[in-house]
Chain A
Amino acid sequence: MISIRPIQTVPDQVFRQLGWEYFISNEAENYLSTDMVQIDAAQQDTYAEAANTLYDIMVQTGEYILQKNLLRELGIPANMHELIRITWEDERNLHLFGRFDFAGGTSGLPVKMLEFNADTPTSLPETAIIQWAQLEANSIAQDKQFNFVYEALIEQFRRLRQLNPGREAAILFSTLRGAPEDDHNVALLREAAGEAGFETAFAYVDEVVFSDINGIFAPGDVNKQPLQFPFWFKLVPWEYIAFDEPELCTMLTQMIKRGQAVVLNPAYTLMFQSKAFLKYMWDLFPDHPLLLETSLEEPIGRSNYPFVQKVIFGREGSNVTVYDDIGLPLEVRGGEYGDQACVFQAYAQLDRDDTGQYYQAGVFFAYEACGLGFRRGEGRIMDDGAQFLGHTVV
């Protein structure tokens, strides 16, 4: 059983001052738990080592995918293929950060990789800052938490500058309109980029001006002309760009090819993002203790039950079905991605508490494993109703 302790919450005023109103809004009611997970130092190391090992495996698998021309098998549309190859081979396109979702790691359960959110990972403010503020608010020593997410992001932005000599350090951040939690994630990234010496700006993606001759521009207001930004961080998934806005996909390919813009996270992270990638990780590293067997075909035979069916570009638990040990649906979540291809992943046991709730760990990776947070839900599928829990290392 997982170990948790109750905590004093961070005062609302802090969220208001940070401009992170979403966390104290009705929409996010109960999102931030009043409990904290307690892990020990060995468990912390296990999570960190798992993420570091898996990222290496992912890079090797990515290389294999490109050598064997398997992008189509990952469900990646053809208009992304060139951009993925270009960015993969050009180190200026630094992968800033991603988040592994893990089952296990506590109560003696083995750590198993569920997926890797490589392109547009969120829950940055709660992992990097809010759970740290929970330490402060509860008079717990600072070193009692595996959380260097913010520092690691600053280091990554510095690295990004070093990898792009001769490119002006000005970065534009964008989200899709209407998702305040995404805006807060980007606000934190903006802060980290600023500390690394970047000039920063924000514009919703629909306001950004793209020119395949001149590059990427933030809109001007009444008195201002647009400003060009050599770096663009978009909290907009690459597959949305490829499927919904193919013209933008073409323009970005031209710009990136000509070196006029660096777009983050890089296009190659779409490979890592595809859940079909998990099948190839398993193929290359069969029976690896951190991996779950994953297949593109529905498993047959009891020895392969229970298992989980997921769509390849699903988010927040949408379109996921958990099948039990006789192959019958145990938990089903619908969603907007039902028309996508599916993968079938062996079921991994999630840790639980004394009320029967399920826990999943999120480990951030930014050049290396750099922080941990937890999600808690009533069911096995963590959706947007799952709570966030900070942690402390005891």
Chain B
Amino acid sequence: MAPFKNFSKNPSWHNRLRRGSMYIAVATMLAACGSDNNQNGGDWEQVTVTEPVKGVITTIEETSDGQFAIVDEQVVENKNDSRIIVKRLSGVTDTLNLDQAKSLVQASDTTLVQSQNHNNHNNGMGRVLWWGAMGYMMGRGFGSPVQSNVYRSGATAFQSGSNASTELKKTAVTRTQLRPVKGRSGFFRNSSRGGGAGA
């Protein structure tokens, strides 16, 4: 097990210059008490995010036990027609819909491994789907390109993924249309936890 190790063993904050904008803002306020320098933001409406409108049919092939590679990705007009066709070593072919495929993706699959070329042995079904064009259907951002190492070697498989990715991106709309179907809100609405959460 490798727990997070994201803390410093070599502290560095001694005598650093402060450059943050809040310092500059506060110093300005102090220097000119009375100037109008309101810091209140409230611009979250400007966030533009995108979601695909079209769908993808991804064909994957089992290369060795539990290991997969994408052999083809084709865009379909309707998101709900997205499918994953799984060709197993045993000769059996399965077809999964998007929701079934989503449940195969584990958190660890969505971490980009830096040394991609040496990592083909780690291509479980979830990882392969997440890093192909199908990943965009599962919530991966369009800023992140498809990864060649999840495709079968040779130009055609990766090319089909790149083309599908371009097409999905081109036809995507802003995510304001993605009102959650099963969304819930109102948690803590009648909370007895008065006085805040601070510690």
Contacts and interface: CB of A to CB of B under 8 A. Distances in A.
A209 B4 contact: no
Interface string A355-394: 0000000000101111000000000000010000000000
A237 interface: yes
Interface stretch (A135-143, A278-286, A320-328): A135-143
A90 B4 CA distance: 7
Contact of A190 (B4, B41, B143): B41
Given A123-B198, A228-B175, A240 B188 contact: yes
A218 interface: yes
Nearest to A148: B13
Contacts of A1: none
A14 B34 CA distance: 9
A371 B18 CA distance: 13
A361 to B, nearest CB: 15
A88 B108 CA distance: 12
A63 B13 CA distance: 27
B159 interface: no
A128 B18 CA distance: 11
Contacts of A166: 110, 112, 140-141, 143-144
26 contacts: A18-B26, A18-B29, A56-B9, A59-B3, A59-B7, A89-B2, A90-B4, A90-B107, A120-B197, A122-B197, A129-B26, A132-B18, A151-B19, A176-B196, A206-B188, A210-B184, A210-B187, A219-B185, A237-B197, A247-B184, A247-B187, A258-B107, A259-B110, A259-B139, A367-B6, A367-B8
Given A63-B3, A367-B8, A165 B144 contact: yes
Q: From DSSP, what is the main secondary structure of chain B's interface residues?
A: loop
A35 interface: no
A185 interface: yes
B199 A117 contact: yes
A133 interface: yes
Contact of B6 (A19, A159, A177, A225): A159
Nearest to A165: B112
B64 to A, nearest CB: 25
A127 to B, nearest CB: 12
Interface size class of A (residues with CB under 8 A): 35 or more
A207 interface: yes
B180 A211 contact: yes
Given A63-B3, A166-B141, A185-B198, 18 more contacts: A59-B5, A62-B3, A90-B4, A95-B6, A151-B13, A151-B20, A168-B49, A181-B196, A200-B44, A211-B182, A211-B183, A212-B182, A225-B179, A226-B176, A227-B175, A227-B176, A245-B187, A384-B195
A191 interface: yes
Given A91-B6, A166-B140, A17 B107 contact: no
A355 to B, nearest CB: 27
